[in-house]
Amino acid sequence: MTASLSPRIVISGSGIWTPTDVITNEELVESYNTYAEKFNSDHAADIASGKIKEKPLSSVRFIEKSSGIKARYVYTKEGILDINRMRPKFPERKEEELSIQAEIGVFAARKAMAAAGKTAADIDAVIVAGAYTQRAYPAIAIEIQHELGINGFGFDMLVACSAATFGLHRAYDSLKSGSTKCVLAINPELNTPQVNFCDRDNHFIFGDVSAAVIMERAETCTSPNSYEILGTKALTQFSSNIRSNFGHLSYVTDDDPFGEDKLFHQSGRIVFKEVSPIAAKLMSEHLAILGLKPEDVKRFWLHQANINMNNMVVKELLGKDVDEKVIPTILDRYANTASAGSIIAFHLYNNDLKKGDLGVICSFGAGYSVGSLVLRKR
Ligand code: CO8
Quote the CA–CA distance of 322 and 41 in Å, as a whole number.
47
Residue 3 has a pLDDT of 44
Tell me which of 64, 70, 201 to substitute to probe ligand 1's pocket, judged by most ligand atoms within 8 Å of the beta carbon. Answer: 201
Is the pLDDT at 192 greater than 50? The verdict is yes
From the list 183, 161, 206, 232, the residue with the least C-alpha distance to 4 is: 232
Which atom of ligand 1 is nearest to 194's Cα?
57
Q: How far is the CA of 328 from the centre of ligand 1 (A)?
A: 21
For a pLDDT cut of 90, what percent of the chain falls above it? 96
- Ligand 1 environment, Cβ below 6 A: 58-59, 62-63, 66-67, 131, 160-161, 191, 194-195, 200-201, 204, 206, 242, 264, 266, 268-269, 271-272, 305-306, 309, 336, 338, 365-366
The fold of 227-377 is Peroxisomal Thiolase; Chain A, domain 1 (3.40.47)
257 band by pLDDT with thresholds 50, 70 and 90:
confident
pLDDT band at residue 6 under the 50/70/90 scheme: confident
Tell me the domain boundaries of the chain.
Answer: 227-377
CA 29 to ligand 1: nearest atom: 7
Atom 38 of ligand 1, nearest CA residue: 268
pTM: 0.96
The pLDDT of residue 119? 98
Longest dimension (CA), the chain: 71
Q: Hey, which residues does 10 pair with through a beta bridge?
A: 216, 228
Please check the confidence at residue 53 and state whether its pLDDT lies above 80. yes
Ligand 1, residue 200: give the atom nearest the CA: 7
Cβ atoms of 72 and 206 within 8 Å: the answer is yes
Tell me the mean pLDDT in the region 27-50: 98
The dihedral sign for the CA sequence 130, 279, 228, 4 = negative
Instruction: Check whether 2 has a pLDDT greater than 50.
Output: no
Residue 5: the pLDDT is 54
